[in-house]
Every structure is written in C-alpha cells, then in structure tokens.
C-alpha cells in the first residue's frame, strides 16, 4: 500500500511537468510522460529487492547501468545548460525550460549520441528491471517504458529538425540515437 501511495506522489510530481505536453501527442513530452510513469512503477515494483544479493552478476550489471544512467544525466544536463543556452519556457510551450536550447549541442556525450538524457533513462529502466527480472509484469513495464523512450526520441528529433534544420539532419547522420557506434 505504501508503494502505491509513493507512485501517486511521484505521479503528482510528474504531471505538472508534463501537463502541457499531454495535450499534443506529437510533442516529445507526451511520450516522455508515459515513460516516466512506467519507470516509476518499475522502480517501485522492484524496490523491496533492490539490494538483495548485491554481488550477483545480475546485480553488478544493474549497478553498472545505474552508474551509467547517473553519468549520462549529469553530462547531458550540464551540456544543455552550458552550450545549448536555453531560452525561457514560453518560447516553446510544451518544452521544459532546459529543453529550449538555442544552440545545437554536439560535444561531450552529444558528440557520440543524440539523446544522452533518454539513454540515461533507458539505462535506469534496465537497471531497475534487473533488480528483479522474475517479477510479474516487470518485463512488460521495462519494454513499455523502452518503447515510450524510443517514441520520445523520435518525436524530439522531428522537433529538432524543424528547429535546427540542415545542421541537425547532418548531425543525425553522424551520430547514433542512444549507444555510440551501435544504435
């Protein structure tokens, strides 16, 4: 019962960040909202066993994904703020303030992948899944969250092509979406 209450509290925090996007299914924030909700459900479903058997191979891979998630998030946010030079939120009503970049960021993690922040969330999804891969519904939550993160990235790429034009198209040709050199 406590985990259900925490889920609703997390949802109450996610909804205000996403409410404008929920009115436009073409906005990347629309899909991101559902990815966040599914990720929250997955984390809370596996919370009771999060630290069980901490040195097993499965847990070690999970911890590595968790560390990668944190590193990608820190680097992604840092570069968007420093190089992307975001404008106030009102400029693009469905975006969060840090997303309204005026400069295309192509250095650091962005040199290798177009979506370090979504790659961070993907790593967190699979980190959480590996905490208890035998949980009923865990695979469905992880796959659904992954699908929504893919949809988020695709929608954002369309927005970026509109906003940045040919430079973004060229950037897409030389980078991968989530994993350097692979995917």
Q: Is 113 helix (H, G, I), strand (E, B) or coil?
A: strand
Q: Which residue ranges make up each domain of the chain?
A: 2-174
Identify the CA nearest to 142 among candidates 150, 175, 156. 150
Helix spans in the chain (H): 2-18, 28-46, 57-82, 109-112, 116-131, 138-164, 166-174
- State if pTM tops 0.85: yes
- Across the chain, which has 183 residues, the per-10-residue mean pLDDT values are 87 87 90 97 94 94 98 96 82 74 94 97 98 92 98 96 96 96 82
């Amino acid at each position: 019962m406590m985990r259900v209450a925490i889920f609703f509290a997390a949802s109450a925090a996610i909804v205000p960040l996403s409410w404008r996007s929920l009115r436009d299914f073409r906005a990347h924030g629309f899909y991101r909202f559902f990815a966040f909700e599914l990720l929250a459900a997955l984390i809370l479903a596996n919370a009771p066993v999060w630290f069980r058997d901490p040195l097993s191979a499965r847990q070690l891979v999970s911890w590595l994904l968790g560390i990668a998630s944190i590193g990608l998030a820190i680097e992604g946010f840092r570069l968007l703020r420093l190089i992307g030079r975001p404008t106030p939120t009102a400029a693009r009503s469905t975006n969060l303030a840090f997303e309204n970049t005026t400069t295309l960021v192509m250095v650091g993690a962005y040199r290798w992948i177009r979506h370090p922040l979504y790659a961070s969330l993907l790593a967190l999804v699979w980190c959480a899944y590996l905490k208890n891969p035998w949980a009923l519904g865990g695979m469905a939550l992880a796959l659904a969250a992954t699908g929504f993160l893919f949809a988020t990235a695709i929608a954002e790429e369309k927005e970026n092509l509109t906003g940045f034009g040919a430079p973004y198209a060229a950037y897409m040709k030389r980078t991968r979406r989530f994993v350097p050199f692979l995917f």
